[in-house]
Amino acid sequence: MSNDSNLFSLDGEIALVTGATRGIGAEIANQLAAAGAEVIGTATTPDGAGEIVRRLGDGHAGRVLDAGSDQSVQALMGGLGNRAPTILVNNAGIARDNLLLRMKPQDWQQVINTNLSSAYRLCKAVLRGMLKARRGRIINLSSVVGMAGAAGQGNYAAAKAGLLGFTRALALEVAGRGITVNAIAPGYIETDMTAGVSAARQEAVIGSIPAGRAGTPLDVAAAAVFLASPAAAYVTGATLHVNGGLWMG
Ligand code: NDP
């Protein structure tokens, strides 16, 4: 990646981070920027995109993206001009939980589309530029739920497990071209996504984490910076578990 002698420096890299408004994606964007990358963070609204630029500061960008839409991905890429991303973090994700017998078709489709098909769209969109540059880093946000399953999350578990297979397949396709493709599987991380969980359930989950605490977005962002960095040049097709020991594959 970069010529900088610092193994963790991202100077000269352009990082596209989907869902960079809040939670894990916001912290990944912050930390990639702190490591020297120029960051393009996405939000689902113009206000959110403006907030990303205010947060990250000059030299970075906020863009609107619906990761579930081909047209939106095309519009995003068209707007980047010659700023071809050398790092892609597929972080955008949603949950629409329900037991299978109550799960509506749109809840299945929306979660698969936003959490899994989005990675197909975005990887395809950035890959040509990475192949040309003969370097790149792709990081897909999976979940412990994609490994262990979770009752009431059939759609989410399918999408997150699908991302792991996709990560390995794409890693094989591009390994010889200086491009790595890896997944991060966070455990229970305190963000808006988990804020809706009942207090009793939160207590039960946190009680079952060997590290004795919930994870933070920074715990996950640190893993993303590593995988994006020159230090991780020989790591590809891997799943990095960031879960305080909750699940060990
Ligand atoms: P949050 O709910 O806090 O944030 C979700 C982010 O995704 C927001 O930036 C949101 O943008 C964006 N987003 C939602 N829908 C779309 C869409 N259609 N197109 C583009 N962007 C979209 O989630 P977390 O930070 O908790 O999770 C981030 C990722 O990590 C997800 O993929 C999630 O599945 C995964 N994960 C989270 C865990 C946790 O415990 N929190 C555990 C394991 C995995 P906006 O603000 O504009 O709505």
Q: Is 143 in the pocket of ligand 1 (CB under 6 A)?
A: yes
Q: Per-residue pLDDT tens for 137-150?
A: 999 999 999 999 99
Q: Per-residue pLDDT tens for 60-107?
A: 999 999 999 999 999 999 999 999 999 999 999 999 999 999 999 999
Show the CA angle centred on residue 189, arms to residues 65 and 17, nearest 5°: 25
Give the C-alpha distances (Å, rounded to integers) separating 232 from 9, 47, 195.
11, 35, 32
Would you say residue 4 has pLDDT above 90?
Answer: no
Cβ neighbors of 129 (< 8 A, separation 6 or more) are 84, 85, 86, 136
Query: What sign does the dihedral 77-130-25-169 (CA atoms) show?
Result: positive
pTM, two decimal places: 0.98
Tell me what pLDDT residue 3 has.
53
- pLDDT band for 161, please (50, 70, 90 cuts): very high
176 C-alpha vs ligand 1 centroid, how far in Å? 31
**Token pair belonging to 45:** 């609204």
Q: Nearest CA to 32 among 190, 115, 139? A: 139
Q: Is 21 in the pocket of ligand 1 (CB under 6 A)?
A: yes
Please answer whether residues 178 and 235 qualify as being in contact, where contact means their C-beta atoms are separated by less than 8 angstroms.
Answer: no
